[in-house]
Structure 1
Amino acid sequence: MESSPPDDAAFRLVEQYDSIEDPGLRSDFLDAVGTTRSRINHLRLLRDRAAARSIAADPEPEEEVTPEADGGKGARRPVPPLPNRSRTPDVITRPPNNTGGISRRNRRRRNRERP
């Protein structure tokens, strides 16, 4: 990967590529510039990440809420989280499956010879 971010010329290259609608012209454009579709997709991803970073870095200032503006209710406490539930049910609706060992009742039936 690159160690330095691409310059605006690379981003303009992506914009030019996106403005071309004909697939044949797009491939001619890539040949003329000397790059590939995967490189264009990579530059597009970098451009989108940079845009998202700049939006996150400059949040819009929030208006301060005064007690008169929210109806005089004041600050509300957050809702507490729900208690953790276990994965086992509280009521077991069937007996355990004891097929691991041969019980006395089934030993003769399982070991008898077949006709």
Structure 2
Amino acid sequence: MDIEPPDPDDDLFGLVEQYDSIEDPYLRSEFLDSVGTTLSHINALRLRRDQAAARNASAPEAPCPPDGKGPRRRVPRPPLRGITTRPPKSAGSVRNKLRRNRARPEFVIIIFKLD
């Protein structure tokens, strides 16, 4: 006999169903106060419920192959190029090109030793 533990989300999703069944806005706010939650929490639970239902509906269970290995996961592709942090040297305005290629000052230091 296979008994699965109860899903805690079912209780929370039941909370959403109760909230949705109330039509009077005053009674809805009273319900939120009595349960101790907020409307944003109810909306988040509703979103989780809808995502779980969509996930379960879109992914039917595939039978395992006879070798017992199960379905193979797809290996993600490596990125085509590395992430660049600066443009290449050929890109840029003429002003920057002239600035890069200008003559740098040269210093010559001469030291005389006097006796």
Q: TM-score scaled by structure 1?
A: 0.45
